[in-house]
Amino acid sequence: MLEIPESFFKDEVRHGFLVPEEMKRAWASEMKVLDMLMEFCKKNDLRCFAEYGTLLGAVRHKGFIPWDDDIDVCMLRPDFNYLLEHADELPPSIRIQSIYSSNMFHTFKALATNNLGGKLTYSKERMDEFYGCPYVVGLDIYPLDYVSRDPGNAKMQKLIYQLAYKMLYMCIDLENIYDDQINTTIENNICLLDLANADNIPIENKREFLTGITQLADILKRYVGNSFVLSEKGPIRNQLCRLCEALAQLFDESESDTVSYYPYIATDDIPSWRKKEWYEDTLWYPFETMSVLGVRNYDEWLTHNYGPNWYLPVRGTQVHDYPFYKSQKEYFEMIGAM
């Protein structure tokens, strides 16, 4: 059971950076979501590991990096899939969002959040439960898939995944053009029939997309033995998301020495692979007023991700706007709730 003393919420300067009460309450809310997720994992014999800046913060600061405002965790694929399949068993004050829960979702990590759906509201009930924080909070959950130890299989998987990933984001570009025509949002995912009938999508864009889909289907049939056919009436984007998910899971633990959040392999964005053995030897680390599970060999993990000087605090390294709740606060102020 998470316990946070009232003194935690006081303004505090950490490493020369002011962390105000407002941010402390947002931190506490995220910690509560994490605590509920970890209780679910404990009950079901699942493991949830601190990842990225959360592990760095746990090791270097025994909590949040002072100028960071989010929590990242990861799960090995079998545990991640179990979580998605049993998400309705989580406490009613949080939910899991993923490509399987909403056509709106097109990232391959899941989100554990206290946003229970509908329009953003200034909720007294949410504030009462989440330490006086009025904002919707969440934490990212990254699935780690097994990468084949066979170089040929790993290369084949990467190339096919890259093509499927490319088609997914080409689809999103087409949706944006289509949405401008019918004045809607991408919640109404475009299907093949919409694509065929959309007058404002240039014919060359349609042709390029359909050619890519045909090429993808041919490659899948040749190398994976998978017959991929887009449903005419189903949302194209969600179908491609699910295909990418299937491709990421082509290999199992017995075929692998490394794991990865697969989209990072496909895009070569950041160092993506991790030794499978790192997640077999773990340790509980202090994190503010709670503890988080992480790899015991933190130096090798952090050096792999952040370089040999990971232990030196550097501001401005977060990859999203700070604070995360800025737009929510502006909205609440606009409607007179704050």
pLDDT given for residue 50 in this prediction = 99
pLDDT confidence band for 180 (50 / 70 / 90)? low
Q: Provide the 8-state DSSP code for 295.
A: E
DSSP string, 108-146: SSEEEES--SSS----HHHHHHTTT--S--EEEEEEEEE
Instruction: Choose the weakest-confidence range: 37-46, 130-139, 233-242.
Output: 233-242
Above 80 in pLDDT, residue 107?
Answer: yes
| 264-288 per-position pLDDT tens digit | 988 876 668 899 999 999 999 999 9
174, 209 contact by CB (below 8 A): yes
Instruction: Choose the weakest-confidence range: 180-194, 196-210, 322-336.
Output: 180-194
pLDDT given for residue 82 in this prediction = 99
Angstrom distances, CA of residue 35 to CA of 42, 98, 177: 10, 20, 41
DSSP string, 155-209: HHHHHHHHHHHHHHHHHHHHHHHHHHHHT--TTS---HHHHHH-TTS-HHHHHHH
| 117-140 per-position pLDDT tens digit | 777 999 999 999 999 999 999 999
Query: Helices 151-182 & 203-223, crossing angle to 10 degrees?
Result: 150
230, 236 contact by CB (below 8 A): yes
**Annotation: CATH topology of 6-143+277-334:** Beta Polymerase; domain 2 (3.30.460)
| 87-99 per-position pLDDT tens digit | 999 999 999 999 9
pLDDT given for residue 181 in this prediction = 57
Domain boundaries, the chain: 6-143+277-334, 151-267
pLDDT given for residue 14 in this prediction = 97
pLDDT given for residue 233 in this prediction = 80
**What tokens appear for 169 in the block?**
């984001």
